[in-house]
Amino acid sequence: MAGSRPRVLLIAELCNPDWVSVPLEGWSLARALAEVADVHLVTQVRNRENILKQGLVEGKDFTALDSTPVERPLEKVGEVLRGRAGVGWTTATALSVLPYYYFEELLWRRFGDRIRAKEFDVVHRYTPISPTTPSTLAARCAEAGVPFVMGPMNGGLPWPKGFGDARVREREWLSYIRDVYKLMPFYKSTRKHAAALMMGSRATRSQLAAEYQDKTVYIPENAIDVRRFGASKAEAPTGLPLRVAFVGRFVPYKGMAMLIDAAAPLVREGKVVVELIGDGAEMQNLRAQVAKGGLENGVTFAGWVKHQELQGRLAKNHIFGFPSVREFGGAVVAEAMALGLVPIVMDYGGPGEIVSPSTGFAIPMGTPDEIVQRVRGVLEKLVADPSVIGPMGARARARIQKHFTWRAKAEQVLEVYRWVSGERGQPDFGMPLAD
């Protein structure tokens, strides 16, 4: 591998250019890595058609495996346990483990001989991102003498105190016994035999046992596609009213109700308008909240906006209001910052690591009432002096362009490949806090 492009078998079971969230992350990193390494992608058959539309050649550039015989029966179980779409993500993740074991078994049948023959310099499992999903491949790769790396992994953020009601409404039954995943088959084997464990957040890194910490490298989970979120700066008019946007699923922990409460007095005074982009189980409750507060003229519901069209919609705003209390990554925060919006997020989980003091506002965690008051205080400060928004937004944009692009992440992952191949020492990228 020395001095050449590494040959990588990249496992991204969730990988789809036309979807959002983790599947889009899987696709984005796969394409960025293909610019710095010789990558063969292995994914699930559900992604096949959309990947083919992007011009990749099946068999040469990627392989699609069919794990649906095991997956479909468990999906039906999940539908019963979760009750409705968009909630119960801990349950969904737990039920996905068995189909994923089967997916890796199919992968080994297809590529085991090639791995043993050292046709690949590195085997890299990217998705699933959750650290609760072990791998059957780590020990097999170690026996074959091929480095196995995982990540960036992210998840496991505890529910904050004071949000028990949201936890129940999210149907997060398994979150009460979440650490049971450490007893799952292959959990210890994965960590013992992996050559490197890339961690997508400091919280996830801190949950790993001390005996495996020397294998870890911190690389933030999220990044932006510069073609969608790097072409133009925010286009919002200067002055008041201050335009605040939220983007995400309408579920309790995302904090839309707290954002509305925080902005309410300023909305009534005509100094702030709020646009909620998205949909979900909380839509009816949020509309009732807006009506009860007499906020219809200043709080609007845009519904779902296609990811390809989100840039234009967000660019009309000054502020990105996102007081989510249990956000692992926060890709949408990075996307908003790339457009020059000033973020208001919770200093808890991924968003608090993306936002620095000079580029936005990371609010200390507290009770719902405390969060409302803290977010309102930031909005009042910005309404009193809107001149700080432009410079802060420019710094936010620069921070994302420097540290949070898929190309930047691919370069970091490449250095991890070089480390596990013995070409360099263990990388430590860190993360500047003030830029």
- What CATH topology corresponds to 7-223+405-421? Rossmann fold (3.40.50)
Report residue 123 as tokens: 């085997």
Angle of helix 21-33 versus helix 406-420 axis, rounded to 10: 70
Write the DSSP string, 209-269.
Answer: -GGGGGGEEE--S--B-HHHHSSS---PPSSSSEEEEEES---GGG-HHHHHHHHHHHHHT
Eight-class DSSP state of 57: P
Report d(CA 34, CA 18) in Å as an integer.
18
Mean pLDDT by 10 residues, the chain (435 residues): 85 96 96 98 98 98 94 58 48 69 96 98 96 94 98 85 65 52 80 97 91 96 88 68 97 95 98 97 96 98 93 94 92 96 95 95 96 98 96 96 95 98 94 61
With tokens 């997916």, the residue in question is 103
Nearest to 31 by CA among 23, 45, 21, 41: 41
- What CATH topology corresponds to 242-402? Rossmann fold (3.40.50)
**What pLDDT, on the 0 to 100 scale, is given for residue 434?**
57
Amino acid sitting at position 380: E
Identical fold, 7-223+405-421 and 242-402? yes
Report d(CA 333, CA 75) in Å as an integer.
30
Report residue 414 as tokens: 């490449």
Report d(CA 226, CA 31) in Å as an integer.
13
Residue ranges of domains in the chain = 7-223+405-421, 242-402
Report residue 25 as tokens: 């992350």
Report residue 372 as tokens: 């409302």
Q: 216 forms bridges with which residues in the sheet?
A: 197
**What pLDDT, on the 0 to 100 scale, is given for residue 78?**
46
Residue 365, Cβ neighbours under 10 Å: how many?
Answer: 19
